Amino acid sequence: MVLAKVVGTVVSSHKSQKIEGIKFLLLEKIDPVTMNGKGDFVVSMDSVGAGVGEIVFYVSGSSARYTSATEGRPSDSAIIAIVDYIEKDGVYTYEKNR
């Protein structure tokens, strides 16, 4: 899975019937040490109610069809967790409620 920040929303009225009712979030991949954005973006289907500004991780590939929100749908990216904290080498590089 890959760590990213929710930075926005993508809206489409003309789309495959199979993705009706899904929320598409714009994610920017982050470096988990500096927590800076990498300028690399992906559109991900939300399965956990994530909001703009939150740090999440998403799953790619066929496993993006294995959440309750995306089962059987043409998805290659699904947010599966909102991150509380990231700890690297004994140091917190990210804490949500700080």
Q: State in angstroms the smallest separation of the CB of 21 from a second copy.
A: 13
For residues 92 and 43, give the distance between their C-alpha atoms in angstroms, rounded to a whole number. 27
Taking the least distance from each CB to a second copy, the nearer of 72 and 98 is 72
**Least CB distance to a second copy at residue 91 (A):** 8
Q: Which of 65, 49, 57, 48 is nearest to 27 (CA)?
A: 57
Look at the alpha carbons of 43, 96, 37, 66 in this order and tell me if their dihedral is positive or negative. negative
Residues at the site binding a second copy, with contacts judged by CB under 8 A: 1-3, 7-19, 24, 26, 31-33, 39, 41-45, 47-49, 52, 57, 59-68, 72-78, 80-89, 93
Residue closer to a second copy by CB (options 13, 98) is 13
**How far, in Å, CA of 54 to CA of 78, rounded?**
15
